[in-house]
Structure 1
């Protein structure tokens, strides 16, 4: 049986997921759940889709893969179709970070202990949300594409997240503490591009000034490695 092809950002998400029961929220084509099942990374999947078109597409893909006994497709908004404690982990990919934060806030007790998130814009709101809601940032990837795509794994844990220790907080929230420590060329390109973009926009009290300071702090970390 052919393997579902994933693009690089979904492939990165795949490798951050391993649990008994997983939910993919806003799955669209269901390629990620199909691969998760076929590679034995999860025992069972629940696919949640709000819109009729993607819902029907996911149902067709699951049926074509003959995995209806392992992947259940449900109609609904965010985590609403799930029961509290039903899944061990969940993924959301290809959405804006603000949209994801809204979905997570509404999820309440339906939120599982592990989350894998791939936003299509700045992941800073997700890192801030995690620190405020008892999740630690345990892994990060940065994937080249139309722009650099971040992929985050969050795990519920008590206490202060050790990932941010000894790093300038605003830089770590913007660019990612694990990514800053790894110091990839892709991240350095992103930071340098941000500095070049922000310098002409920055002025005291403006958002661009705070973003520029975070970018410069990030570059200092990267140059110190």
Structure 2
């Protein structure tokens, strides 16, 4: 049977997953787990869905692709249907960062050592959570779509995250340490759009003032001005 087609953001998610057993939380049609199995990115997947409609769609997709021996569909909320240590990694995609962070915080000891996250808005909250929860940002992708999507791979590692060393911290948290180092036209357009959006409304004492300073710092880094100043 033909492979389900993934959009650009889920293709980016797929490429950041390598696992023996992987859980996809809020999988909807289970397209991602099907491709993970067929493309050799995971040996087994657990699909978790809370809502009846997507749950049934996921079950039909797995049955249609005849992957019942490799993909198990479970009904439940977040990581609750999983046992501690059952999976090597998990993905949570297509939700707001607040929602994803809530799911992660409720997971407790069910949280696996590797996570791939794709929020529909700013990933800042997730990077802040990662620092507090003992996860390092191992890889990042930026994908154009209806929005500009950030995709993060986090791994549980002790000590400070080396990804942030040598970078302006606020800018790296807001835009991503690996993305900031790599640069690229897509990130630069995003930062320039933030500067243009914030400049007319920013004023001392407001959150927008801090956000504008962070965006300008990121833009300086991307254009090389911050690096040149450090060398001088």
Partner of 1:40: 40
CA distance, structure 2, for counterparts of residue 205 and residue 8 of structure 1:
39
Other structure's SS at 2:80 match? coil
Pairs within 5 Å for 1:178-217: 178-217=178-217
Q: Give structure 1 regions of 4+ aligned residues with deviation exceeding 3 angstroms.
A: none
Partner of 1:140: 140
CA distance, structure 2, for counterparts of residue 95 and residue 134 of structure 1:
22
Partner of 1:83: 83
- Structure 2: stretches of 5+ with no match in the other structure: 228-232
CA distance, structure 2, for counterparts of residue 205 and residue 140 of structure 1:
32
Shift of 1:205: 1.2
Residue-by-residue CA offset, 1:15-67 (whole Å, 9 max, x unaligned) = 00001000000000000000000011111000000000000000000000000
Shift of 1:146: 1.4
Shift of 1:115: 0.1
RMSD: 0.7
Other structure's SS at 1:208 match? helix
Residue-by-residue CA offset, 1:93-126 (whole Å, 9 max, x unaligned) = 1000010000000000000000000000000000
Other structure's SS at 2:136 match? strand
Shift of 1:185: 0.1
Shift of 1:203: 0.6
Partner of 2:116: 116
Partner of 1:157: 157
Name the TM-score, length of structure 2 as normaliser.
0.96
Partner of 1:62: 62
CA distance, structure 1, for counterparts of residue 208 and residue 9 of structure 2:
28
The count of residues paired between Structure 1 and Structure 2 equals: 225
- Structure 1: stretches of 5+ with no match in the other structure: none
CA distance, structure 1, for counterparts of residue 120 and residue 196 of structure 2:
22
Shift of 1:127: 0.2
Other structure's SS at 1:142 match? strand
